[in-house]
Structure 1
Amino acid sequence: MTATVALDDVDKGTGARPVTVARGYRFELVKLVSQWRIRLLVLACWIAPALFVAAVSQQSTLPVDTLFGRWMHATGWAGPLVVLGFAGTWALPLLISVVAGDVFASEDRLGTWRHLLVAVRSPRRIFAAKALASLTVILLLVAGLACSSAAGGLAVVGNQPLVGLDGHLLTPADAAGKVLLAWVCVLAPTLALAAIGLLGSVALGRSPMGLLLPALVALVMQLAQMLPLPVTVRLALPGYAFIAWNGLFTSQAQLGPLLIGIVVSLAWAVTATALAYLLFLRRDFTNPSYDGSGRRAVTVGVLPLAGLLAVTVAVVAGATPATGSGIEQDKVQRSVATAFAHLYRIQTRQLNRPDVTEAQLKVTAECTKGGGKVAAQGPGNDWRCTVSWHLPGVEATGTAIYQLDVTADGRFVADGDGPKEVNGYFLVRTPTGDAPNPLWQFDGNVELLHTTRKG
């Protein structure tokens, strides 16, 4: 504050005007893009995803453990979703650390704060300019990841329909719109991590921990999402929107968790940015040996964010009816039955059999966990489902068995366990070439809050 008051007095005495935010923003943006590592990151984000998607789409082995990875042979719209899953987990936190986590700390390392303050004459404008410049670069990186991966998939595989997470078929136009919407939705948690990066850069000064803070926070949130925590705690974490976009790819979009994740992320972004701004205005710019805010970083930075987490957990718990993990027997059964019905129709068309509707099939599923020895709820790889359906004019009831691996975020992988002619491995001919039987293995999603489908 001493430096701020002194600068204000100089301005009043000399009549000099502080540099506008627009001019400061252009200056900071030029400083960022002139760094070789930033240029390299921008180049990589606009080229590497296209090369990755193009290369993987032509391989015989696909990343089936990644959401939509098994469909990379069938449609070009699967590639950007695979890249989105990887970006939310690893790429974006690291990119944000390099950009937002270093935007203030770099001035501490170079000792240029006094020169910058004399030139701009306003710490407030300096903060705004640096925050906006770093946000611009981050948005440019995100746009590169999205556009490049989509271009690579469409160029190699083509503009084909996409199979959703409940087995329904999205037209190319619908797939394009939902892929774009999914990338837009992850901007909210990206902003939250960027704000945490600004806070770390301001609070920790030249310490390397400021640079690593967004990546470390993202890693902690990923570990939390892998644990069987209550669903209200999971939804209250700012990183949940990085995975909640998968609810867009069901026939009735599961918007509840996604909207909660976006609101929570934006709340964290606003709070962390405000805390960084407050710390920045209170620092002593006249001390060349300044190396972080020390105790003030804990009282002004960490404790308010911990309080925000407690508040969001309480609000989500009060606003949603979900209890426990949110993964319950009836939800799993409905999800498996719905996906099987949609995929059965796809298999029917591929095998040139008479078409049937979901209403005619009357698919049901009975699922147990741990061989029926434990309660049928919560994540685990010990789920087992027996699917039953009816064909028009056929008295016998068809049955198929699946082994399920359900993760804590509600995603499951169903692995066919017979009969072989129904859900075993065999190739079927499709317009894009031979592909595995769609009923052999498929991905699904259990809505952790209320169910959007009844029956």
Structure 2
Amino acid sequence: MTAVEERDAPASVRPVGLGRGYRFELVKLVSQWRIRVLLLACWLAPAVFVAAVSQQSDLPVDTLFGRLMNITGWAGPLVLLGFAGSYALPLLTSLVAGDVFAAEDRLGTWRHLLVAMRSYRRIFVSKALASLTVILLLVLGLAVSSTVGGLVAVGGQPLVGLDGHLLSSGDAALKVMLAWLCVLAPTLALAGVGLLGSVALGRSPMGLLLPAVVALVMTVAQLLPLPVVVRLALPTYAFISWNGLFSDPVQLGPLLVGVGVSLVWAVVATALAYALFLRRDFTDLTYDGAGRRVLTAGLLPLAGLIGVTVAVVAVAAPASGSGIDQAKMQQSLSTEFAHLYRIQTAQLHRPDVTEEQLAASTECTKGGGLVEAEGPGNDWRCVVSWHLPGSSATGQAIYQLDVTSDGRFVADGDGPKEVNGYFQVRTPEGDRPNPLWQFDGNVELLSSTKG
């Protein structure tokens, strides 16, 4: 071969590496004004919101830990976490993962990307990793910003757990961090659904909305009187199962089941999206979704996955019915009342007593005793009894309970006034919130799974 022939021979072309493809896709995402606005909002708005609400007298008492927002700064990120799991995180995953492939269809830029990267696998992995990175930044912003807002506005005082025990500032910080880490699992599940919708539905807006729609349907399902095994088998249950971290001992069963189911959904949905992406014909410039394959390769496998997870949870988890019964309600309320009674005793500077000395017990009925005492409802009525050392009299306090289908309950004191009939107690330092007046609690839906 002559020198001229060697000079004119075409050089071998190497495909773009995964690292460069990932950086390219990440820059593309972050350069969009919509993503920049979301990042800015997630890193700034929660701090302002939590700080502002913590200074108000009218608190979001219908939200878990909402009644504690003006007492401790650790309540703020937990209130925001409850809101984020229901609304913010599904919408954020829709706007990021649900659009990462569809954007190329709308802009008609697939041929340029294929020429540059020369690998379907690298394109898919680069886009999936870039969207995952942005989603993690958004979740991190929500967690950090809300925590900073609460601590700056109120401070790091101890947090009252869902069984009435006090969490020190260090314990509260650790459990708040763990709670936010736990909701990453259902967020990844919705992100996988978003990738699947973006690949399968092309430029259709339904691909963008799919994670939010799936989350909405499953949230509505959580409100229905479903068996506990079905409730635990839905990936969005991990958005609420972090509640068990704030009991002592920790309620690990529902939390681990919820996280495990969510991770399985994330893997399966992403794998389905990958399989559809590899089979796509990129030579068709009029491509507008996978059509019939959306049902056969997307929705049907996910529907089958629900059946599989229900069967596995039913075998592995000891639970039946709604998971809420009279014995669990009585035990939970007795434990929480004893813990909170000690907090009230310390406020009033009375001699300290232990839970064993109080020997609190509870009798609960539902529907005035006309219906079986099990399942959710706002017609639970409980009478707590306890004893004080050196006294032969038995103290009693009445509570009206509103129990939701996920095991959370709100106990509303109904007398006597000196114990739980008024929202404040008079202490030597002035009027303070009465810990026994209204409080949140949590019943574990599974049996014998406390860690």
1:407 partner amino acid: T
1:246-257 matched pairs, under 5 angstroms: 246-257=243-254
2:384 partner amino acid: V
1:29-48 matched pairs, under 5 angstroms: 29-48=26-45
Which secondary structure state, in structure 2, belongs to the residue aligned with residue 166 of structure 1? coil
Equivalences, count: 442
TM-score (norm 2): 0.96
Alignment match of 1:282 (pick from 279, 282, 291): 279
Superposed displacement of residue 426, structure 1: 3.8
- 1:383–1:109 distance in 2 versus 1, CA, 3 Å: same
Question: After the TM superposition, which parts of structure 1 deviate over 3 Å for at least 4 consecutive aligned residues?
Answer: 428-435, 451-454
Residue 387 (structure 2) pairs with residue 390 (structure 1): yes
Residue 174 (structure 2) pairs with residue 189 (structure 1): no
Alignment match of 2:270 (pick from 266, 269, 273): 273
Which residue in the other structure is 2:114 paired with? 117
1:208 partner amino acid: P
1:39-438 matched pairs, under 5 angstroms: 39-428=36-425, 434-438=431-435
Which runs of 5 or more structure 2 residues have no equivalent in the other structure?
1-9
CA distance in 2: counterparts of 1:403 and 1:90, whole angstroms: 29
Superposed displacement of residue 307, structure 1: 1.0
Superposed displacement of residue 453, structure 1: 7.2
2:311 partner amino acid: A
Percent of pairs identical after alignment? 78
Q: Is the 8 A contact 1:252 1:452 kept in 2?
A: no
2:119 partner amino acid: S
Q: Is the 8 A contact 2:325 2:375 kept in 1?
A: yes
Alignment match of 2:437 (pick from 436, 440, 455): 440
Superposed displacement of residue 232, structure 1: 0.2
CA distance in 1: counterparts of 2:362 and 2:205, whole angstroms: 53
Q: How far does the alpha carbon of each residue in 1:94-140 deviate from its partner, in whole angstroms, 9 at most, with x for none?
A: 01100000000000000100111001111110000000000000000
TM-score (norm 1): 0.95
CA distance in 2: counterparts of 1:267 and 1:328, whole angstroms: 30
2:181 partner amino acid: V
2:447 partner amino acid: H
Residue 447 (structure 2) pairs with residue 450 (structure 1): yes
Superposed displacement of residue 320, structure 1: 1.5
Which secondary structure state, in structure 2, belongs to the residue aligned with residue 29 of structure 1? helix
Q: Is the 8 A contact 2:365 2:381 kept in 1?
A: yes
CA distance in 1: counterparts of 2:427 and 2:26, whole angstroms: 49
CA distance in 2: counterparts of 1:128 and 1:104, whole angstroms: 11
Please report the RMSD computed on the Cα atoms of aligned residues, expressed in angstroms. Answer: 1.5
Q: Is the 8 A contact 2:43 2:144 kept in 1?
A: yes
Which residue in the other structure is 1:8 paired with? none
Which residue in the other structure is 2:7 paired with? none
Which secondary structure state, in structure 2, belongs to the residue aligned with residue 70 of structure 1? helix
Which secondary structure state, in structure 2, belongs to the residue aligned with residue 421 of structure 1? coil
Q: Is the 8 A contact 1:415 1:441 kept in 2?
A: yes
Which runs of 5 or more structure 1 residues have no equivalent in the other structure?
1-12
